[in-house]
Amino acid sequence: MTVAEIRQLLDKYKSQPLSPDELAQLQEAVASGAFEEEIKADILHTLYTGSAPEAEWPAGEKEAVLQQVLQATPLQPVRNAIRKRWMYAAAAVLAAGIITSGVFLMRRPATPAPVAATVKPNPLAPGGNKAMLILADNSTITLDSSSNGALAVQGNTQISNTNGALTYKGNGNNKQPLYNTVATPRGGQYQLTLADGSKIWLNAASSIRFPAAFTGKERLVEVTGEVYFEVSQNAHMPFHVKVNTPGMEEMTVTVLGTSFNVMAYADEQAIRTTLVDGAVQVARGNQQSLLQPGYQAAISSNGGTFETSMADVEQALAWKEGKFRFRNTNIRTIMRQLARWYDIEVAYDGNVSDIDLTGVISRREDAGALLKALETTQRVKFTVEGHTITARPVTPH
């Protein structure tokens, strides 16, 4: 089963009954664990957009399940137990019923609660500043550029939002750490300033978990997806970033005060850490790599060793600067970026493995403008049907 097929089944499951064969396929896909990232993204999207039927949600359950999903790390040493916990979270969230594996069943309410249709006026419109904030008590706050002002208090830390940027301010005298999470959906991005002054940028389909105020001898955060850091200097309290990518062993980036980018999407071929300035040490298991500014450490998704090389910093940070920048980039890599930012599906008709393209375009443009720019290369042609874009190679005459 392909990613497109699993997403199609998930979408159909939330809006209409599945056939027995489709139901069996979906149960088998969930039980296999092969589509954890796609299912997790679907959960976040469903909760973020509010498209889950309210009749399925006892008070407070949505927040608790979302926090559990965000914190779950399916492939740690206690693999089976955590996978079962994660699958339960997935089961509890997926819109109109429950999907689980093994001896559990899939259920659907006899009369599904009506769900208001949410249709994008323009299916190719660009993403924007939107995210979800999950507080320590599992309550959630929807974030966007319009939700300005004071939002909440966590211990001695004040949280405020201004024009798409979240700020934490406090003295760090909390009796125990109060962990918050900021998660962006597909088609979203967000900025935040942690209590120590470190600045964070989240790309689409990404998350960061962090204490509202840092205490003790270290500063520790956990991320998924793609995140850019400008870490405030504090030699007495080193900054550690745990990188969680489904299907891969946990990786840690240790810094004192520096700027760097971490790209760790599950559907990419490698996890990449790009250093802009300062110094970082990247570690995974017993492997370590010390980076210099302008260099990049990459480790392949199949569990290979670290490879350190000169980085194309402009290309790595283009998303943060509001651009797509491609330099001899394969069309599949390009389309993965588009899928996350425009919240679209991508299909292929023909072999596109040898199509590498170069160009720069604003992320504020509609996807249609970017597709037209790519078509001017006369290497690839696109067909748009709703939220699905099909790419096919151009046959030379």
pLDDT tens-digit map of 40-99: 656 655 544 444 443 344 444 544 545 444 444 333 333 344 434 444 444 444 433 333
Q: Looking at the structure, do residues 287 and 377 belong to the same domain, yes or no?
A: no
pLDDT band at 14 (very low <50, low <70, confident <90, very high): low
pLDDT per residue as tens digits for the range 328-358: 999 999 999 999 999 999 999 999 999 999 9
CATH at 215: 2.60.120.1440
Is pLDDT larger for residue 377 or for residue 22?
A: 377
Tell me the CA distances in angstroms from 72 to 28, 226, 257, 265, 301, one per residue in order. 21, 18, 29, 16, 19
Q: What is the pLDDT of residue 37?
A: 57
The pLDDT, as a whole number, for residue 250 is 80
The residue among 316, 333, 355 that closes a domain is 316
User: Are 266 and 330 contained in the same domain?
Assistant: no
Quick check: is 109 in a domain? no
Q: Note whether 93 and 52 are within 8 A (CB).
A: yes
**Amino acid present at 133:** L
Q: Which residue has the higher pLDDT, 311 or 65?
A: 311
Residues 6+ apart with CB under 8 A from 63: 134, 138, 139, 140
- What pLDDT does residue 318 have? 96
Domain end point (choices 283, 316, 349): 316
| CATH value at residue 363 | 3.55.50.30
**Which of the two residues, 202 and 21, has the higher pLDDT score?**
202
User: What is the predicted pLDDT for the residue at 107?
Assistant: 28
The reply to whether 115 falls in a domain is no
- Quick check: is 98 in a domain? no
The per-residue pLDDT for 99 is: 35
| SS3 of residue 144 by DSSP | strand
Distances (CA, A) of 47 to 10, 89, 105, 134, 141: 14, 12, 22, 12, 12
Rg (CA), the chain: 21
Quick one: average pLDDT of 131-142?
A: 93
In this structure, the answer to whether residues 303 and 207 fall within a common structural domain is: yes
| More reliable by pLDDT, 318 or 21 | 318
What's the confidence (pLDDT) of residue 43?
A: 61
User: Among residues 270, 293, 316, which one ends one of the domains?
Assistant: 316
Q: Is residue 48 part of a domain?
A: yes
Rounded to an integer, the average pLDDT of 95-116 is 33
The mean pLDDT of 293-303, rounded to a whole number, is: 84
| 364 in the same domain as 220 | no
Confidence at residue 71, expressed as pLDDT on a 0 to 100 scale: 45
User: According to the model, what pLDDT value does residue 35 have?
Assistant: 67
Would you state the pLDDT for residue 36? 61
CA 389 to each of CA 150, 183, 195, 366: distance values in angstroms, whole numbers, following the listed order:
40, 26, 41, 13
For residue 354 the two structure tokens come to 């040898």
Domain count, the chain: 3
Please state whether the predicted TM-score (pTM) of the whole model is above 0.75.
Answer: no
In this structure, the answer to whether residues 161 and 233 fall within a common structural domain is: yes
Beta strand ranges found along 233-342 (DSSP E): 239-243, 251-255, 259-264, 270-277, 280-284, 287-291, 295-300, 307-310, 323-330
| pLDDT value of position 216 | 85
Q: Is residue 104 part of a domain?
A: no
pLDDT value at residue 338: 96
- Percentage with pLDDT > 90 across the chain: 51
Residue 24: give the domain boundaries: 3-93
Same domain, 289 and 332: no
What is the average per-residue pLDDT within 215-227?
A: 93
Cα dihedral 368, 373, 379, 385 in deg (nearest 10) = 0
Q: What is the pLDDT of residue 38?
A: 62
Q: Are residues 263 and 387 in the same domain?
A: no
> Is 368 inside a domain boundary?
yes
Average pLDDT, the chain: 79
Does the residue 243 lie in any domain? Answer: yes
Q: How far apart are CA 87 and CA 124, in angstroms?
A: 32
Task: Let me know whether 256 and 337 are in one domain.
Answer: no
Which pLDDT score, from 0 to 100, does residue 100 have?
30
113 within a domain of the structure (yes/no): no
Model confidence over 166-204: pLDDT tens digits?
999 986 666 778 999 999 999 999 999 999 999 999 999
One domain, residues 370 and 285:
no
pLDDT digits (tens, 9 = 90+) for 143-171: 987 778 999 999 889 999 998 899 999 86
Q: Is there a single domain that holds both residue 197 and residue 288? A: yes
- Looking at the fold, whether 76 and 177 belong to one and the same domain comes out as no
Same domain for 341 and 357, yes or no, is yes
- CA–CA separation, 62 and 59 (whole Å): 8
Average pLDDT over residues 90-114: 34
